[in-house]
């Protein structure tokens, strides 16, 4: 995979993350119409940390501390991704995310299950 393709896929993944954050921000504004922006930001940060229903993450594995102890302590400068995630008060997820697949023919998008297919293809087509 060339660097341009990898970069495009990474940008797509980050765009999906930001879209999810913005969708949740709008959801919180609807749930708490009297809340000011500071309270919404606090609720959003709490949601990102707690991730109700996905406390252990999007995939199988075990929780690890963040940043990982194996990270070199001399690296004081954060990468752009680390800076972006720090702005969201990022903590790794605590348990796997296992989406329920859409029933075949339901008309519901299968992107939650087949997301790798959508990100990996130049011109993605849904799997049947």
Q: What is the pLDDT of residues 31-88, one digit of tens each?
A: 999 999 999 999 999 888 887 767 666 666 666 676 666 655 555 566 777 777 777 7
Model confidence pTM above 0.75: no
Biggest CA-to-CA distance, the chain = 54
Cα end-to-end distance, the chain, whole Å: 26
Q: What is the pLDDT of residues 20-35, one digit of tens each?
A: 899 999 999 999 999 9
**Does pLDDT of 121 surpass 70?**
no
Whether the Cβ atoms of residue 29 and residue 35 lie closer than 8 Å to each other: yes
């Amino acid at each position: 995979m060339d660097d341009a393709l990898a970069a495009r896929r990474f940008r797509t993944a980050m765009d999906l993350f930001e879209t999810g954050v913005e969708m949740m921000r709008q959801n919180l504004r609807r749930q708490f119409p009297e809340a000011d922006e500071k309270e919404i930001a606090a609720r959003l940060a709490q949601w990102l940390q707690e991730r109700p229903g996905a406390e252990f993450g999007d995939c199988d594995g075990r929780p690890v501390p963040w940043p990982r102890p194996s990270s070199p302590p001399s690296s004081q400068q954060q990468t752009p991704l680390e800076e972006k995630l720090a702005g969201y008060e990022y903590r790794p997820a605590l348990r796997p995310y296992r989406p329920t697949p859409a029933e075949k023919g339901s008309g519901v998008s299968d992107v939650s299950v087949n997301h790798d297919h959508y990100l990996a293809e130049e011109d993605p087509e849904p799997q049947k």
